[in-house]
Structure formats: C-alpha cells, structure tokens
Amino acid sequence: MKNSYKAHRDRRRALLASMREHSGGGLALIPTAPEVPRNRDSLFPYRPDSYSYYLSGFPEPEAVLALVADADGDREILFCREKNEEREIWDGFRYGPDAAREIFGFDEAHPLTELDAKLADLAADRPALFTPLGLFEPWDRRIIQLLNEVRARVRTGVSAPDEVVDVRGMLDAMRLVKDAQEASLMRRAGAISSSAHRRAMARTRPGWFEYQVEAELVHEFLQQGAQAVAYPSIVASGPNACVLHYRDNNREMSAGELLLIDAGCEYQGYASDITRTFPVSGRFEGRQKDVYELVLASQLACLDAVKPGAEFHDYHKAAERVLAQGYLDLGLLKGTLDEALESGSYKQFYMHRAGHWLGMDVHDAGLYQVKGASQKLAPGMVLTVEPGTYIRPADNVPEAFWNIGVRIEDDVLVTAGGHENLTAATPKTVADVEAACQR
C-alpha cells in the first residue's frame, strides 16, 4: 500500500472499531456517487462521494466499499470496474481490482460485476448493516433487495442483520476532526484560493464584467493544480453584493462600487472558502470604508473566540454584538445594544450565521449541537469565519449606505493552542486591500 493512502486505511479501521462498539460487529456497505448526465452524450465532471472517498481515496465511479467487522478478523473489500482496454481508449485509465487492492491498501478487491453475487454472503449472520440511508435512491432499493434476499435464506440457518444503521452518523463524527494529512491538503487549498483572490484584486477594473473576474479566479485555481471550484463562485458587484448567494456573475462593474468575491478551490477532495470585498476603483469611498472596518472588527472578534473548549456558537455571538453596536454607532439602528440584540433589529443588515464546518464538502459533515448543547471546538476542527453586512435601499437607511455589501471570510483550523488561519495570506486590512488593488 502506498503511504499516501495509509490515512484512508486508518479511517477504515476506526470505522470498524466503531461498528464493533455499536453492535458487536457487522457489515458496512458504502457506495460512491453515480455519474450524472449533463446533456446528450456528455457527463458532468466526475467527483466521488465524500464518504466513500474519505475511507478509500478511490476516485473512480461505480465503486462500492465493504467493511466486515468480525471476531474472526476484519475484512476491507473494494468492488470496482474491471480493466477494459476499449473503454480506456475512450474514457481514460481504470485501476481495475488488482491494482486497486495493491495501491489503495484493501484486503480484497473484486470486479463490480460480482457485487450482487457476494453481497448476500457478506451480509449473512451479521448483527447490523451500516450504510448511508437516503443518500442515493437506487442504493436504498438495492439494500432492501439485499435484506430480503438474506431473509429468504432463513430456512438454511442464515439470519439477516437485525439493525440497519445510517453509517453517516459515525463518519460525520470522524470527519469533523481532521487528521494531519487533511490539514495539509486544506492548507494547500487555502493557499491556492488566497492567490486567486489576490489576482482578482490586482486585475479588476471599472468596465469589466463580473464573469471576467471569475475567469481570473478559475485561471489561478487550475494553474496551481486545483481540480475544480469547491462551489460556484460568487462575484457580486454593487447591489449584487447584497444578495447572499448571487450566482449570475454577468453585471458590468462601475467605478466607485464594491466587489464581493466568495470563491474557493477544491484540492485533492478538500474545499477552501474565502470571501473578500474590495473597491473596483482600488480605493474605498465614503461610507464603504466605515462599513468595511466594522465587518473587519467583527471578524477579528470572531477569530479571538475560536479556540479549544469554546462553544461553536460563541463566535457567532461575538459577530452579532460587534455588528449591532456598529450599526448603532453608524446611525443605522436606534436604541441600545441590548435592545438591538433582543429584538433582532440588526438582522436587517446581518442575517446569516458567522460560519460553518469546512472539509471535503464546503458545508462539511458534523453536528453543530449535541443533545441540545452547542458543539465544543476541539483541535483538528476546521470552520469558516465569515460575518458580513448587507445594506439594501430602504426608507430607514441613509442613501449614503445603499448597496454596500461586505463579507470577510477565512478558513480556520482549531489547534491545541488556539487556531491557525489557513487563509491569512489573503489581504484583509483596508491598507492591504487597497495596496493589492493597485494596478
């Protein structure tokens, strides 16, 4: 087994241990994502399912991972496509079972065509079946068919699993805490995305269309070895910056406007997620600077709250307090801070949470609350820190603030001593942003 896949085997063994702890043993069956047609005779670029990839590192479609937790010895099995010279001419390289077993460190690997014939034997006399439920409808039907097939053998002395467990609960808890290999990949993803944001700042100018800036981002992602965007890029100028999930990216930008970019690459299966806001003309004007510095102050307060033992919700509360006080100071709200927080009046300008888990998925696996209490931060967790302010035209808002949208987002790894900002190289202070925008 190549050393690069040792971490995947360690994860498989951790899942096997959890299976024994839960039910004394059993069978886990985890499929990868299917290929998806884009249009006639064309598929969307393939990406394996995150759960499957987390455990196997195997990148091909139509694969199924089987893990057997048994007192007589565990088994780690991969079912995958066979080598096929003709299809490889058309579609590219396939590992095939023999190479997959050796390279990815499985005990066994079999052609996918043998899956149905072997599944019933693998599931027989197992106390529990662990599989993702509701992830792929065809897979759910296959699991029901498997259980019925094993139950039909009852007269031969075989028993079917008494329990079917959604394996994603166990895997979500594992994925929430990143290992050293994952942290390294996320550092690289963050570095590539940071470079892309710096490129966008340096090249954006009045008269460009948002999609031209998007092209600069994608150029940097691919040029530095990222495989894809982690999510559709948001390149939102002027009033579009006040649309949280703006995706059209087709507006012509004008001097004096702000440009909000929320964009990150995916690198070897791991996402980055950065947001920066900067002036199209290179200099903040009027109330733009006031709002920007308020959001930056709130983001720095959030970062101070990210440390081991803190509750996940603590840094969101920090953002709310700083932003609400800022709105009062700017004359956007009336009353006291306590009144603004209690009434929620600040939500006119800040209506989302301050962040989310980050990993293989941009909104990654993991609970935010456990038994009604906030999840506690621990070393190895990665989260985004992204407060913002979005001021739409309204009767109660001075016109000088209209259409100012600002969000500042970094990717943060919780460490034993506090945290590591994985995207700190992206310009963020007013001085650094304006310097990065000089052409």
Q: Of the residues 214, 409, 410, 411, which is catalytic?
A: 409
Cβ contact 418:306 at 8 Å: yes
| Phi, psi for 294 (deg, rounded to 5) | -65, -45
Q: Of the residues 292, 315, 346, 390, which is catalytic?
A: 390
Please confirm, yes or no, whether 390 is among the known catalytic residues. yes
Amino acid at residue number 147: L
Amino acid at residue number 178: K
288-293, long-range: CB < 8 A, 24+ apart = 288/258, 288/404, 288/406, 289/430, 290/330, 291/330, 291/389, 291/391, 291/401, 291/404, 291/406, 292/406, 292/430, 293/430
Cβ contact 354:386 at 8 Å: yes
Going from the C-alpha of 262 to that of each of 41, 352, 406, 412, the distances in angstroms are: 32, 15, 11, 16
Q: Of the residues 188, 356, 361, 410, which is catalytic?
A: 356
Q: Of the residues 40, 41, 155, 399, which is catalytic?
A: 41
Q: Which residues fall within 8 angstroms of residue 386, CB to CB, at 6 or more apart?
A: 273, 275, 299, 354, 355, 407, 408, 409, 410
Query: What token pair was written down for 348?
Result: 């006119």
Query: What token pair was written down for 55?
Result: 């455990």
Please confirm, yes or no, whether 199 is among the known catalytic residues. no
Residue at token pair 């939500």: 347
Q: Measure the CA angle with vertex 403, ends 433 and 212; round to 5°.
A: 55
Q: Of the residues 38, 151, 247, 363, which is catalytic?
A: 363
Q: Of the residues 87, 245, 248, 285, which is catalytic?
A: 245
Q: Of the residues 76, 216, 262, 314, which is catalytic?
A: 262
Please confirm, yes or no, whether 51 is among the known catalytic residues. no
Amino acid at residue number 47: R
Q: Of the residues 76, 216, 257, 273, which is catalytic?
A: 273
Please confirm, yes or no, whether 110 is among the known catalytic residues. no
Q: Of the residues 210, 220, 386, 410, which is catalytic?
A: 386
Please confirm, yes or no, whether 316 is among the known catalytic residues. no
Please confirm, yes or no, whether 313 is among the known catalytic residues. no
Sign of CA dihedral 307, 312, 313, 319: positive
Please confirm, yes or no, whether 395 is among the known catalytic residues. no
E-strand stretches of 113-268: 128-131, 163-166, 228-229, 234-237, 258-263, 265-267
For the residues of 364-393, what is the DSSP string, one character each? -S--SEETTEEPBP-TT-EEEE--EEEE--
Cβ contact 149:126 at 8 Å: no
Q: Of the residues 352, 353, 392, 434, which is catalytic?
A: 352
Q: Of the residues 407, 410, 411, 419, which is catalytic?
A: 407
User: Active-site positions?
Assistant: 41, 245, 262, 273, 352, 356, 363, 386, 390, 407, 409
